[in-house]
Amino acid sequence: MRKSTRIIAAGLALSMTVPVLTACKKGRGGEKIASDTPWYNLTVAQIDDGLDADNVDYGYSNFIGVHGDNFVFRKGGSYKLPDGFDYDNDDRTPYNIDEINVYDINGDLINTVNLNDVTASFTGYDYVGISNIRESGNTYMADVECDVFSTGAVDNFNIYIDVDNGTVSDPVPMANDGLIDNLVANGGSNERTVDVGDYKVTEVWFSGDVTNYVLVVEDANGNTGTIELRNADSLASVYNIQGIVDVGNNKAVVIATLSGGEAAFYEINLQALTASKINEDMSWLASHVSSITTVSGLGTVVSENEGLYTINYDNRSIDPLFLYEYANVNAYEVGRFTPIMVSESRAIFSGTLYNPYPATSNTVKTVFYIFDRADSNPNAGKTILDVASVNTMSYPLACAICSFNETNPDYYMRLDMSYQIPSTVQYATGENADQDLETAANNLGNQLAIDIMSGTGPDIIINGTQFGMLNNDDYLLNLSDFAATNLGSDKYYTNVFEAAKINGNLYQIPVSFGVQGLAADASGVNDGQIGFTFDQYAAFVQGPCNGHDPINKGRLYFFINCLNCMSDLMVSDGAVNYDNEAFRSLAEFTASNINEVLQSEDEEEYYMDEGAAYVANVLNVGYYFNVTSSGKVLVGMPSYDGRGPAITVHDSVGISAQTIAPDACKEFVSLLLGDQIQEYYGAQDGVCVNRAAFATVGDKYIGIHNDEVDANLRRFSEAEARSYGMSVDYYDESFVTSFEQLVESLDCMYINDGSVNAILREEVPAYLEGQKTLEQIIPVLNDRIQTVINERR
């Protein structure tokens, strides 16, 4: 019995009880947006910080705090260095940017304080650094650290910045904060100070075998005391404190993560200065632990993909504070912003706009997103459709959702990120981490399947290709016809759609994909050769690779990987036959030519740079450029017929069979495959299936690259730059065209079937170790895998 049994049965139980008892019709109720759902109108104000690519080499503005109706930022960066600047000898300080700027809600500059002047006023030191600028009463306080390198002396001061007047006080030697300084002197590191109710709590972290936190508590009268978290649980190695939540009665809950990745909760008494471990079931909070942040002015906030939530400890629940769907704003973009202020009627975020392409300039535009509560919700009455994105959300997806919601009069798409592997499992490093991850992924798939079946699931599923069990009519709509009529080969790479079909049915349309193969030296590959047959591969390894096999991860890995690319030769039309030349030649080749030596990560990196070939999964035009520009060609993995590279699906979209609005969903799919959104997909990871977008992205990348070459050549001569390994060659259209040709030639999908692989792993090592012959294992393989296929019919 598997661990997944329980979840399956649970879901089936749930899904069966409702119909059995109430004889429901299939499909969801079609929830509509209530008229009292909050709605916010968005105003964008760009900060007038004067940073632009013409006068600045790089620059940024960081939010510090709120002051009255205005907002305090610290601007940093460097003005453009003049041509001919000597990087080794000339002084950069005149070109440094370091200012405190105060802006109003419209982004206009109210006041500015040049910190460079302040720094300059400290004479006699080699290094002066201003940091930790924070609110203190009505002014802002900063720490100044002054070092003398020769003597090693360090002096610390505090300065007070009056942002109303734009003046800075004289430096005051830093108050000896007694407790905190002692702790820091003993090896602790002062992380931050947060307000918890009437108290100020400073978190000091100690490293060691068992890492520990000491909390310095200062009450309203200025009395200080310490709480050692180790007292609550001496065995736990507390790695990070996510947040401290005030729960009243001088008590607070500390939300922490341990070094293994798990979450831990402690209750501290700020008056009695004690700490104890919380043993009750905290799963309602544990799944959000990694999204907990502390925002000045707001306190402890859970920042999830859908919006901001507060922790309601009394109810043991997470309550929405501000959801991005209330404003139909790009959740991915705003999720990166810093919340500044949230109230009933207004919410203000600040951050930098998102650029899907790799940064071309080193300046970023900082904006305010000001959300003002509207009187009525313009979307009231629209039916809600859920878009579930498994595990991750992407910018293009959020864009598509916004775009759809703006134009469609009847339906409103809502982002549903509940299908995620908990972060504690994802980042765990313990003994069973891999297995737990696999189990969690399995459970996720089952949960999704069950929800769809029971009609409570999402209408659209993004990135669900890893869940093979969804690919049938019970769960997803068959989109072959839709693809045939709407997705013609003039606009799309239909070979990718064809490859994604299962038994002629298309359930999940690839939205972006990758190309998996070997990046091999062009010298080792003949013209027009798209892949390696086994003989060619053997020759290649002996020749250009000097005997070192680029796919060096062990025989079984090699075997299964190559077999996955050839799966259409073994299983066709429901009949399994491994008794063919392809399998035999692969087996024989693996047994005789591949060595069992596995390489380390460092070695892997070395061979990637220096070796004649490496395994590549090209997800991006830019990556492809890298491959080709280094003199390599992307060819297929070794196979029986020397076939070309295989397609791996990166993003995909599927429509639930139980949806109440199939047409609206299909419209959404068209949107995802439309030019604009596809361009965003292509700009990041994943090759576009849309031809026009493909061309656009290609051109843009060429532009980016050529700009970089310009910048490099401005600083160095060509020879110098080349010696540093920097790019100095210009790209042109031909790169994009060759990639396009490659994409058009792809026809096989990389299929990774868990059950089949399990059987292969059991049977094949016997042959590879020479204990059985092929004649012995092939009938067994045929039989067992045929059973697997038969069961699925």
Which positions lie near another protein, rule CB under 8 A? 1-6, 8-10, 12-20, 23-24, 26, 435, 438-439, 446, 449-450, 453-455, 469, 474, 755, 757-763, 765-766, 769, 771-772, 776, 780, 783-785, 787-788, 790-793
SS3 104: coil
Give the number of other Cβ atoms within 10 Å of residue 609's Cβ: 9
Nearer to another protein, 55 or 790 (CB): 790
**Minimum distance of another protein from residue 789's CB (angstroms):** 9
Shortest gap between Cβ of 16 and another protein (angstroms)?
Answer: 5
Nearest to 62 by CA among 54, 70, 72: 72
For the CB of residue 436, give the shortest distance to another protein in the complex, in Å: 11
Closest to 303 in 3D by CA, of 288, 281, 325: 288
365 versus 772: smaller Cβ distance to another protein: 772
Nearer to another protein, 10 or 484 (CB): 10
**Residue 503's closest CA among 568, 564, 562?**
568
Closest approach of another protein to the CB of residue 753, in Å: 12
Q: How many residues does the chain have?
A: 793
| Cβ distance to another protein smaller for residue 401 or 764 | 764
Per the structure block, which two tokens stand in for 98? 């370091």
Among 489, 476, 452, CA closest to 654: 476
Smallest gap from residue 439 Cβ to another protein (A): 8
Nearer to another protein, 91 or 573 (CB): 573
In the bound state with another protein, the residue whose beta carbon lies nearer, of 1 and 175, is: 1
Closest approach, Cβ 573 to another protein, in A, equals: 14
Query: Comparing C-alpha atoms, which of 776, 779, 774, 767 is closest to residue 591?
Result: 767
Is 379 within 8 Å of 353 (Cβ atoms)? no
Residue carrying structure tokens 């296929």: 789
Cα gap 174→191, rounded to integer Å: 17
CB of 373 to another protein, least distance (A): 40
Which residue, 404 or 767, has its beta carbon nearer to another protein? 767
Nearer to another protein by Cβ, of 710 and 762: the residue is 762
Query: 424 or 712, CB closer to another protein?
Result: 424
User: Nearest approach, Cβ of 344 to another protein (angstroms)?
Assistant: 40
> What is the nearest approach in angstroms of another protein to the Cβ of residue 636?
26
Q: What is the pairing mode between strands 366-373 and 748-749?
A: unpaired
Angle between helices 4-22 and 433-454 (to 10 degrees): 10
For the bound state, the minimum distance from the C-beta of residue 450 to another protein, rounded and expressed in Å, comes to 7
CB of 276 to another protein, least distance (A): 23
Nearer to another protein, 13 or 598 (CB): 13
Min dist CB 481 to another protein, Å, is 21
Exposure of 650 in the CB half-sphere (CA atoms within 13 A): 21
| Distance (Å, whole) CA 231 – CA 421 | 32
What single-letter amino acid sits at 498? E
Distance between CA atoms of 640 and 559, rounded to whole angstroms?
12
**What does the alpha-carbon distance between residue 251 and residue 247 come to, in Å, rounded to a whole number?**
6
Token pair recorded at residue 747: 């026809």
Adjacent-strand bridge partners of 346: 372
Instruction: Assess contact for 270 and 252: CB atoms under 8 A.
Output: yes
Minimum distance from residue 591 beta carbon to another protein (Å):
14
Q: Which two tokens stand for residue 411?
A: 């339906």
Residues 6+ apart with CB under 8 A from 602: none
Q: How many CB atoms lie within 10 A of CB 282?
A: 16
Q: Minimal CA–CA distance to 752: which of 558, 506, 468?
A: 468
Rounded Cα–Cα distance for residues 576 and 580 (Å): 11
**Nearer to another protein among residue 260 and residue 320 (C-beta):** 260
Please report how close the Cβ of residue 478 comes to another protein at its closest, in angstroms: 16
The residue to which tokens 């460079």 are assigned: 116
Q: Using CA atoms, how far apart are residues 441 and 776, in angstroms rounded to an integer?
A: 35
Shortest Å, Cβ 558 to another protein: 17
Task: Give strand pairing partners of 78.
Answer: 58, 96
Reading the block at residue 790, the tokens are 């038969």
DSSP states along 551-593: T-S-HHHHHHHHHHHTHHHHEETTEE---SHHHHHHHHHHHHH
Q: Which is nearer to another protein, 166 or 468 (CB)?
A: 468
SS3 230: helix
Cβ 452 to another protein, closest distance in Å?
10
Task: Compute the least distance from the CB of residue 14 to another protein, in Å.
Answer: 8
Residue holding tokens 């060619």? 536
The CB-side HSE value for 366 (13 A sphere, CA atoms) comes to 26
Residue 307 or 445 having the CB closest to another protein = 445
- 140 with 132: CB under 8 angstroms? no
Give the 3-state secondary structure of 407-455.
Answer: HCCCEEEEEECCCCCCHHHHCCCCCCHHHHHHHHHHHHHHHHHHHHHHC
From 53, 135, 49, 65, select the one nearest 99 (Cα to Cα): 49
Indicate the residue among 462 and 778 with the shorter CB distance to another protein: 778
Nearer to another protein, 449 or 702 (CB): 449
In a 10 Å sphere around its CB, with 0-12 CB exposed, 13-18 middle and 19+ buried, how is residue 784 labelled?
Answer: middle
CB of 610 to another protein, least distance (A): 33
Instruction: Choose among 101, 4, 97, 107: nearest CA to 55.
Output: 97
Nearest in space to 75 (alpha carbons), one of 25, 29, 111, 35: 111
